[in-house]
């Protein structure tokens, strides 16, 4: 951290010249002398002989310019002493023992240094709010700088560490600025420089050069400059989509940052993308937005990106970190620059991704789906929905399934019925789908495929995968057209039931083999369905998005003579 080019006299002189009271301070506006005449070399050497150590470079250089300093009242440390005041801390409260007790069997190096700091440290403060400024000779770098720790005794927090005395002073100087940034009379060379950097960062951001803008905004924000935080938050929210509080904060601070943008072209693109996203094809929706991004216009001077997308219930879930970076790297709002490399589509093709099971909802450990070729997804409730079923507003399918009443909670519904809450959408190949990956029912022997009902006006396909134990893994396929089943099969462990003229590519004996392990057979079957019938599902929409839902008719039939069923309900009792 030592830097021979750093000018302590200029730095401290600027700080003194810029000093004004904080907005909540009482008293007059008279200038306050923050420092004192610098100590000569003889006095500094005498202090070092008294202490038995040569002082670290940046602290030594500071003392030669100012023999002590008044730190801002809001900084916990009020005044730093001069050469006659500094002395070894001596750990009067035995803090070292407390910190050593908390070291585990394999402590981190920084924790060991902190535990030993209390007995080694040099105390710099002479006035404080029950706080200490401690220089640690045992925590030094290649330049001979000692780390400085500020311990606020009333906070209950760990000490703040700075790599050197200079780093600490620069941080306090920035805090001095930030604490007065709202004062209308607080204008000086430093505020003008920082405000110019904010404006430069704004233009760089609109040109797609956000990486160059970030350090400018970071520094300006540390000085508390107006709008620096608003711009920085927009960049960071797009780099890490899903952050909380974006819409409210953006709208309040940027004069409408929660809005999508302005311009007829962009508005049309957003409407088109929302229409695509609400039926599932997120990649298609993203391509619409990507093409429109260069013509996006900011509705206010301090909006640099369409961050309102993140708060949109349909479009927000499809903005991943990769797509957020692409937004930021795209020149927009009339600015020019190089276009970024497009982010590849995020939805994997086909269905095989359903077999990748990390143990959470993404993707699904069990699932069932109905596809109807060439149909409008809005028509599916009339084909396979319960009486009076209609599409919900776009919602989280998982929550919709969890909140759906169980058979025993619904009047007129038999306990054997298995009515599913399904997410509805459209695939890129033109199939409408109704998907349930949330209720996790077992594929029972009373199963009644909805393929026939779904095929009233064309071809329909039903797949049900039930991979759970201890029952054998089960996989069902049925295909119907114009109200008649064409073929089907059900695999339970090593047992296969089939009907109709199955295409060779969908022969279950070829897809599910005795030597298979794990999801081999399932994956093979899903790949065959994709290549043979063109079936797919939009992973991003099903796992992160919002889709329309409805409740189907029962996937099981009434038990016949000699057949039975069981319905289990689990209730948590509190002691």
Name the stretches of the chain with pLDDT < 50. Answer: 1, 247-259, 361
User: What proportions of the chain, in percent to the nearest 5, are helix, strand and coil?
Assistant: 40, 20, 45
Give the integer Cα–Cα distance in Å for 331 and 209: 8
pLDDT value at position 439?
A: 84
- Going 86 to 92 to 93 to 99, the CA torsion angle's sign is positive
The backbone torsions φ and ψ at residue 335, rounded to the nearest 5 degrees and listed phi first, read: -90, 155
448-to-142, 443, 463, 558 alpha-carbon distances in Å: 75, 10, 12, 10
pTM of the model: 0.84
pLDDT of residue 405: 87
CA triple 425-430-432, angle to 5 deg:
35
Domain ranges of the chain: 8-180, 189-329, 352-554
282: helix, strand or coil: helix
Residues in the chain: 575
Contacts of 425 (CB under 8 A, 6+ apart): 279, 280, 281, 377, 432, 433, 435, 538, 541, 542, 547, 548
φ and ψ of 77, to 5 deg: -95, 125
pLDDT of residue 441: 82
DSSP string, 459-474: EEEEEEEE--SSSPPE
Q: What is the pLDDT of residue 242?
A: 75
Give the tens place of pLDDT for each residue, 211-248.
Answer: 999 999 999 999 999 999 999 999 999 999 975 555 44
Q: State whether residue 32 is helix, strand or coil.
A: coil
- Rounded to whole angstroms, the Cα distance separating 228 from 220 reads 6
Instruction: Give the count of beta carbons closer than 10 Å to the beta carbon of residue 501.
Output: 7
For the structural domain made of 8-180, what CATH number should be given?
3.40.1580.10
Q: What is the pLDDT of residues 282-307, one digit of tens each?
A: 999 999 999 999 999 998 889 999 99
Task: Name the residue among 345, 273, 262 with its Cα closest to residue 306.
Answer: 262
The C-alpha atoms of residue 16 and residue 30 are separated, in whole angstroms, by 12
Q: Which of 203, 231, 204, 206 is nearest to 217 (CA)?
A: 231
* Residue-wise DSSP of 181-235: TT-TT---HHHHHHHHHHHHHHHHHHTT-HHHHHHHHHHHHHTT-TTHHHHHHHH
Residues contacting residue 1 through CB under 8 Å, at least 6 positions apart: 58, 141, 143, 145, 163, 164, 166, 167
Give the residue from 190, 192, 149 showing the smallest Cα distance to 173: 190
CB-count exposure of residue 373 (10 Å: 0-12, 13-18, 19+): buried
């Amino acid at each position: 951290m030592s830097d021979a080019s750093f000018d302590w006299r200029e730095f401290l002189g600027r700080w003194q010249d810029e000093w004004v009271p904080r907005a909540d301070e009482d008293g007059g506006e008279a200038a306050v002398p923050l420092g004192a005449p610098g100590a000569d070399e003889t006095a500094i050497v005498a202090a070092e002989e008294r202490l038995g150590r040569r002082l670290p470079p940046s602290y030594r250089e500071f003392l030669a310019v100012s023999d002590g300093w008044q730190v801002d009242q809001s900084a916990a440390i009020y005044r730093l002493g001069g050469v006659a005041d500094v002395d070894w801390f001596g750990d009067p409260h035995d803090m070292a023992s407390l910190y050593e007790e908390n070291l585990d069997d394999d402590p981190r190096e920084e924790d060991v240094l902190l535990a030993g700091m209390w007995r080694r440290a040099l105390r710099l403060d002479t006035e404080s709010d029950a706080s200490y400024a401690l220089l640690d000779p045992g925590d030094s770098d290649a330049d001979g700088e000692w780390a400085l720790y500020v311990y606020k005794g009333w906070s209950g927090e760990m000490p703040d560490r700075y790599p050197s005395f200079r780093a600490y002073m620069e941080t306090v100087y920035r805090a001095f600025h930030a604490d007065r940034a709202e004062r209308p009379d607080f204008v000086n060379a430093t505020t003008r420089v920082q405000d110019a950097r904010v404006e430069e960062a704004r233009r760089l951001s609109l040109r797609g050069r956000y990486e160059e803008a970030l350090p400018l905004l970071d520094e300006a924000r540390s000085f508390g400059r107006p709008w620096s935080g608003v711009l920085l938050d927009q960049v960071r929210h797009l780099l890490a989509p899903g952050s909380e509080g974006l819409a409210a904060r953006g709208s309040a601070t940027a004069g409408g940052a929660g809005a999508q943008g302005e311009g007829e072209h962009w508005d049309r693109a957003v409407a088109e993308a929302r229409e695509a996203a609400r039926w599932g094809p997120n990649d298609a929706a993203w391509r619409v937005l990507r093409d429109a991004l260069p013509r996006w216009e900011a509705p206010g001077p301090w909006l640099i990106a369409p961050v309102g997308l993140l708060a949109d219930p349909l479009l927000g879930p499809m903005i991943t970190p990769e797509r957020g970076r692409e937004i930021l790297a795209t020149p927009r709002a009339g600015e020019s620059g190089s276009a970024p490399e497009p982010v590849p589509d995020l939805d994997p093709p086909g269905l095989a991704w359903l077999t990748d099971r990390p143990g959470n909802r993404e993707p699904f450990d069990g699932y069932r789906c109905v596809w109807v070729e060439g149909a409008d997804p809005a028509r599916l409730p009339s084909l396979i929905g319960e009486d009076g079923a209609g599409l919900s507003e776009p919602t989280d399918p998982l929550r919709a399934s969890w909140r759906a009443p169980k058979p025993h909670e619904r009047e007129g519904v038999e306990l054997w019925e298995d009515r599913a809450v399904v997410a509805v959408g459209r695939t890129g190949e033109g199939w409408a789908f109704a998907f349930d990956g949330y209720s996790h029912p077992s594929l029972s022997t009373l199963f009644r495929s909805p393929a026939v009902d779904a095929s009233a006006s064309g071809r329909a396909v039903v797949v049900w995968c039930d991979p759970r134990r201890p029952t054998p893994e089960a996989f069902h396929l049925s295909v119907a057209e114009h109200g008649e089943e064409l073929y089907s099969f059900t695999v339970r462990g090593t047992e296969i039931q089939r009907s109709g003229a199955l295409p060779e590519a969908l022969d279950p004996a070829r897809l599910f083999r005795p030597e298979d392990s794990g999801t081999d057979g399932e994956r093979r079957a899903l790949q065959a369905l994709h290549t043979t019938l063109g079936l797919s599902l939009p992973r991003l929409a099903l796992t992160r998005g919002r889709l329309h839902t409805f409740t189907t008719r029962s996937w099981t039939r009434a038990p016949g003579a000699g057949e039975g069923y069981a319905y289990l309900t689990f209730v948590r009792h509190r002691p």
